[in-house]
């Protein structure tokens, strides 16, 4: 398996987690009871898997290599991607703050929660389009295979602390079963 294939497969799992989060946000926005436990798990998925594992793997290995070996325009794309990484981290932090203090949200807070979820989801989807459409192919074409030899091993060590795909696929399966029907 190529390192980029590992990242593509992260994307598929992230897409599933985002679909759950969108459903939950719509439910909250429409005035449904706040699904505290499910929401906590979905936010943990964002914080630990999406940011702590996936974005970390890209920021540490793929993005610097693409910037170094790709054309000048690719370095600009990498800069933009890293900026969006920061936005995703900040937005996720706001979601955690929303959730923590109260279970009973006002109408305004419900809307704020849903808008923040929509902002995180749209940024992550934009990242996935840019990466799969531009950066992964650049990596596959331009980064010498020797340079990528230990990437999968390094990915595994990043995954160790917070859990990789198998762990998170299993953890979010009950959420997907409840919310994606
Ligand atoms: Fe990605």
Domain layout of the chain by residue ranges: 3-179
Place of tokens 């800069």: 79
Reported pTM: 0.94
Contact at 8 Å (CB) between 149 and 17? no
More confident residue, 31 or 163: 163
Q: How far, in Å, is the centroid of ligand 1 from the Cα of 105?
A: 32
- Residues 79-138: tens digit of each pLDDT: 999 999 999 999 999 998 876 656 678 888 889 999 999 999 999 999 999 999 999 999
R_g of the chain computed on alpha carbons = 17
Average pLDDT, stretch 12-36?
93
Q: How far, in Å, is the centroid of ligand 1 from the Cα of 19?
A: 16
pLDDT at 109: 87
Q: How far, in Å, is the centroid of ligand 1 from the Cα of 178?
A: 26
Dist. CA 9–CA 39, nearest whole Å: 23
> Which CATH number applies to 3-179?
1.20.120.520
Q: How far, in Å, is the centroid of ligand 1 from the Cα of 10?
A: 7
pLDDT at 103: 64
Q: How far, in Å, is the centroid of ligand 1 from the Cα of 176?
A: 21
pLDDT at 165: 97
- Residues 26-62: tens digit of each pLDDT: 999 998 888 889 999 999 999 999 999 999 999 999 9
Q: How far, in Å, is the centroid of ligand 1 from the Cα of 55?
A: 6
Q: CB under 8 Å to 103, separation ≥6 — which residues?
A: 34, 36
Q: CB under 8 Å to 17, separation ≥6 — which residues?
A: 42, 45, 46, 49, 50, 168, 172, 175
Q: How far, in Å, is the centroid of ligand 1 from the Cα of 110?
A: 28
Dist. CA 11–CA 140, nearest whole Å: 17
């Amino acid at each position: 398996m190529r390192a980029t294939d590992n990242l593509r497969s992260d994307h598929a799992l992230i897409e599933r987690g985002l679909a759950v989060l969108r459903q939950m946000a719509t439910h909250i926005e429409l005035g449904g009871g706040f699904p505290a436990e499910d929401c906590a798990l979905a936010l943990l998925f964002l914080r630990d898997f999406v940011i702590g594992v996936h974005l970390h793997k890209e920021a540490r290995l793929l993005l610097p290599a693409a910037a170094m070996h790709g054309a000048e325009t690719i370095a600009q794309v990498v800069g933009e991607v890293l900026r969006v990484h920061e936005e995703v981290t900040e937005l996720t932090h706001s979601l955690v703050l929303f959730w923590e203090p109260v279970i009973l949200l006002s109408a305004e807070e419900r809307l704020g929660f849903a808008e923040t979820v929509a902002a995180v989801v749209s940024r992550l989807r934009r990242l996935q389009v840019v990466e799969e459409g531009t950066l992964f192919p650049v990596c596959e074409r331009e980064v010498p295979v020797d340079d990528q030899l230990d990437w999968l091993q390094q990915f595994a060590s990043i995954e160790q602390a917070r859990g990789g795909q198998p762990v998170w696929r299993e953890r979010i399966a009950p959420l997907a079963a409840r919310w994606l029907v």
